[in-house]
A = this chain, B = another copy of it.
Amino acid sequence: MVVVMKLTARPEEIAAVQQRLEQAGFQAHFIHGVKRLVIGAVGDRAAINSLGLEALAGVERVVPIMKPYKLVSREVKGENSLIKVKDAVFGGGKLVVIAGPCAVESREQLLTAARRVRQAGAMVLRGGAFKPRTSPYSFRGLGKEGLQLLAEVARETGVATVSEVLDEASLEMALEYVDMVQVGARNMQNFRLLQAVGCCQKPVLLKRGFSATIDEWLMAAEYILSEGNEEVILCERGIRTFETATRNTLDLSAVSLVKELSHLPVIADPSHATGNRKLVSPMSRAAVAAGADGLIIEVHPDPAHALCDGPQSLSPDDFDLLMGELQGIAAAMGRDL
């Protein structure tokens, strides 16, 4: 880290900073600028936060140089992590598509969705049993029954399954029934939940919070890995910006950048990002072209009667078309679909 001292910093203030650094095991290097003293501090990045340097007299600001994450970083592990969810492998040569309804509504709805998306080439079925909703008056999912339907449909069709968990109770239930658990955007910094999924034995789909920076997103993954679970798949799902013409702004440069910074697989969710069915296909193609390892797409047998997120859900026929379009892009990227 670099500590920039104020123009007016007095010798005893400078000495106090140096002492604080050295007590914490850092080496202090003084750089006398044209007007100002800058102190380069060499040591363990993780210790910076507890130093409280910015609160010391004479300090103007502290500029961190190293990234705050370790385990998720490519510097720690150079090759791509391959994460297996039943027969699907994320992070390898083959793109993995997750598809299915926003919420599990009934056996028939789910089974129809599963059959159609499986047929079209999706390897994983999504379906929410516990739905976080902005309004307390909206449909909040079937709960345990929804999970049981997922397990049942998985047996019948052979798909793998993923479903969102909201807390330790829903996590415990989900672990019994599904192949991968999802931490949603609103819970990306629910650190208790991150610790809990970090202690479980199943892969975790970690959505980026809609106003999380890339560093915060990777730190959330770091929480999970630091508890012992290394099977994390990252999912970009749009960030909140000033633009209201789309629900969120899909940040595809984040996909490419995170592939450089981390060894974890990264997929994209164009359905939630855009909130607009017509944009799902172009943004799916773009995500693959940007280097995503897969996609998660909302597909409902009858979008106009969906209990949740109908406007952004594809019909099974739309999904067939999309999978066709993706073939060419995947091939151009040297990947299978």
Residues of A within 8 A of B (CB): 2, 4, 7, 29, 31-36, 38, 40, 42-44, 46, 49-50, 52, 54-57, 63, 65-66, 68, 75, 132-140, 166-168, 186-187, 189-192, 210-211, 213-216, 219, 222-223, 226-227, 239-246, 249-257, 260, 273-274, 276-279, 282-283, 285-291, 303-307, 310-311, 313, 325, 327-329, 331-333
Q: A42-B33, A65-B33, A166-B192 are in contact. Are A211 and B211 (CB under 8 A)?
A: yes
Among B42, B50, B211, B260, contact of A242 (Cβ-Cβ < 8 Å): B211
Q: Which residues of B contact A243 (CB under 8 A)?
A: 213-214, 239, 251, 254
CA distance A54 to B275 in the complex (A): 10
Q: Which residues of B contact A189 (CB under 8 A)?
A: 132, 134, 186
Copies in the complex: 4
CA distance A40 to B290 in the complex (A): 35
Among B168, B216, B226, B253, contact of A279 (Cβ-Cβ < 8 Å): B253
CB nearest neighbor in B for A243: B213
Contact across chains for B289 and A52 when beta carbons are under 8 A apart: no
Contact across chains for A256 and B279 when beta carbons are under 8 A apart: yes
CB nearest neighbor in B for A291: B282
Contact across chains for A249 and B246 when beta carbons are under 8 A apart: no
Among B40, B54, B222, B226, contact of A40 (Cβ-Cβ < 8 Å): B40
Contact across chains for B29 and A313 when beta carbons are under 8 A apart: no
Interface of A is mostly: mixed
CA distance A306 to B40 in the complex (A): 22
Q: Which residues of B contact A210 (CB under 8 A)?
A: 211
CA distance A192 to B136 in the complex (A): 11
Q: A34-B42, A256-B279 provided; 20 other pairs, C-beta below 8 A?
A: A29-B29, A52-B303, A52-B310, A55-B310, A55-B311, A63-B63, A134-B219, A136-B223, A136-B226, A167-B167, A167-B168, A187-B190, A211-B242, A214-B245, A245-B257, A249-B251, A256-B282, A260-B278, A282-B290, A289-B329
Q: Which residues of B contact A215 (CB under 8 A)?
A: 245
CA distance A328 to B328 in the complex (A): 8
Among B139, B242, B274, contact of A239 (Cβ-Cβ < 8 Å): B242
Q: Which residues of B contact A2 (CB under 8 A)?
A: 2, 38, 40, 63, 65
CB nearest neighbor in B for A245: B214
Contact across chains for B249 and A273 when beta carbons are under 8 A apart: no
Q: Which residues of B contact A137 (CB under 8 A)?
A: 46, 49, 226
Contact across chains for A54 and B283 when beta carbons are under 8 A apart: no
Q: Which residues of B contact A134 (CB under 8 A)?
A: 68, 189, 216, 219
